[in-house]
Structure 1
Amino acid sequence: MRDLVPTLDRVRTADGRLLRVECSGDPCGRPVFLLHGMPGSRVGPRPRSMFLYQRGTLLISYDRPGYGGSDRRPGRRVVDVAEDVTAVADALGLDRFAVVGRSGGAPHALACAAVLPDRVTRAAALVTLAPRDAEGLDWFAGMAASNIDEFRTAFTDPDRFVARLIPRSAAIRSDPARLLEELREDLTDDDRSIVSDNGIRSMLMRNYQEALRTSPYGWIDDALALTGTWGFDPAEIRVPVLLWHGAKDAFSPASHSSWLADRIPRSTSIVEPSAAHFGALRALPNVLSWLLADTALPQTPPL
């Protein structure tokens, strides 16, 4: 049986940066990295620790560079996440692990699957975007006007994007409910129901506030990375991948997952007809079960 993981909340990378880490669930459980959304942090929504413990799961989250308690990495690409995940896994003594990302974290989960095939057992991408240069995909089709404006500005005029996002981040940091209010017009009834749940809403508020606590640059660098060159080809992924999407998602349209499903050889695609963007929170427990289906710990022999 695997040993208890070390207790730590900070990891230093090879280039000297500090990453803020949080583990929950069973310290001896099967490890899964949960890569947060945009903006987001290590304290973002996830199943309760007791749920994870009962299912023998160790859930590992960390703040991507520039968010929360993690040092910034200017100019980072999506693929660079693999170096940070490797640093955290090594610090925890983990050889093999699964990885799941939601929203802005989903392409980062795919990056880990692509470049760490000897360590990643399975990967899941929930409500993911496809690469900005995805051939044959109308990248903005079905996307809410607010997201079109944000991503298009990040791609075509990054200086203007940064100048706009700095004061917006400051406002959300002081009043994290403001972000959900900004999104409300584009939320479906199903999404409104999910984010109105007191427990989920509390997690989201804490998540946004921690994400932007030290600076806006995690959010800025995420957007620039997602609209830039990712640094890997999804078609090169060889580990099993689950792509989950809500058909009514207007923030990252389901066509992005469909494009990826056509290119990732060992992918399974689920599109929930009535779900939208925040439906991924409801899907996460079942996704964790899928991620761990092939990674059960060996049974302890009877005495």
Structure 2
Amino acid sequence: MDQMLRIGDRMLMYAVYGAEDGVPVMSFGGTPSTRWKRPEVVATIETSGLWMVMPDRPGYGGSTRQPGRTVASVADDAVAVADALGWERFAVTGGSGGGPHALACAALLPDRVTRCAVTASNAPPIVDGPEPTEAEEQAYPRRNRTSWLAVHGDLRPGLEKTARSIMAAVVEGGPEFPPDPGSPPGPPAREDPAAVARLTATFVTSHDGWIDDHIAFATPWGFDLGDIRVPVSLWHGSADERAGKYADHLAAAIPHAERKCYVGGHIPPTNAYRELLRWLTLS
């Protein structure tokens, strides 16, 4: 169910999944993504005993853009959404670019957040020095060209080119998500109006949230990973080497963080996602 919340002079859009008597969980989408999720993801949430809210960060899905936002800025929005839902305490989770935002809530809202699980989360990048080479980026993902350009160049042309390429593949019959290595591709997204709507909202309607996410990642996050005291689990796929290297850094920086490796790639399969959701409900 889509909802709208006014925060100052901004509008924030969010969607709620599951049952109102479920465990409260706030989920932060990847970079880029919106609050609209694939049916299999929604089904897993609904069978896991959760009441989950997925806010669109500023610049995504109808949420008003917030130029200059930091990763830490998400905490104020999280409080506003939780208050609107009547939540005193809640767990947080985030995948890929949503991971830093979930970690921000864990660090900055210790009296509200119960647990934090992130999947294939980014780690703070290193943007000093010259533009990284492709070899440097593969060896040290924290030295990546996207983050470097976010500080020293212009991200928009490259992201728009990527978006056009993704949508062109969809037009040609590609799936909504690329399959894991060795797995068959999913059905053609162009044959599913709901999938086309999700892709259009993510890759066509606006690129502002995508750009602002990367700028936020590449500049000071606004909190210290070492200040996180709530239970944290760091999930990544066995075939996702980049995410594994990010997890190395996060595990070293966050006290008592647990490592959780599942068989798969960047997007967790249903069994791994269900286990992550179960972990969020533990007391």
TM-score between both structures, scaled by the size of structure 1: 0.78
| Pairing 1:77–2:67 present | no
5 Å-filtered alignment, 1:1-303, equals 9-13=3-7, 15-45=8-38, 47-133=40-126, 140-142=137-139, 148-157=144-153, 159=154, 161-166=155-160, 168-169=162-163, 171=164, 177=170, 188-190=180-182, 192-193=183-184, 196-198=185-187, 205-250=196-241, 252-272=242-262, 274-279=263-268, 282-294=271-283
Q: Which amino acid aligns with 1:113?
A: A
Q: In 1, distance between residues paired with 2:109 and 2:39?
A: 24
Gaps of 5+ in 1: 1-6, 295-303
Secondary structure of the residue aligned to 1:22 is: strand
Greater RCO (Cα-Cα under 8 Å, separation 6 or more): 1
Identity %: 35
Aligned residues: 272
Q: In 2, distance between residues paired with 1:280 and 1:156?
A: 36
Superposed displacement of residue 49, structure 1: 4.4
Q: Which amino acid aligns with 2:229?
A: R
| More off after superposition, 69-78 vs 54-63 | 54-63
Q: Give deviations 1:233-276, integer Å, cap 9, x for gaps.
A: 111100000100123215x431111111122113111123x422
Q: Give deviations 1:74-94, integer Å, cap 9, x for gaps.
A: 011111111111111111111
Q: Which amino acid aligns with 1:228?
A: T
8 Å contact 1:74–1:221 — kept in the other structure?
A: yes
Sort the Cα spacing of 1:40 and 1:172 in 2 relative to 1 into closer, same or farther, 3 A: farther
Q: Give deviations 1:80-116, integer Å, cap 9, x for gaps.
A: 1111111111111111100100011011110110000
Q: In 2, distance between residues paired with 1:53 and 1:213?
A: 29
8 Å contact 1:106–1:125 — kept in the other structure?
A: yes
Secondary structure of the residue aligned to 1:58 is: strand
Q: In 1, distance between residues paired with 2:169 and 2:50?
A: 30
Superposed displacement of residue 224, structure 1: 1.0
8 Å contact 1:41–1:211 — kept in the other structure?
A: yes
Q: In 1, distance between residues paired with 2:246 and 2:81?
A: 29
Sort the Cα spacing of 1:65 and 1:35 in 2 relative to 1 into closer, same or farther, 3 A: same
CA RMSD of the aligned region, Å? 3.3
Gaps of 5+ in 2: 128-134
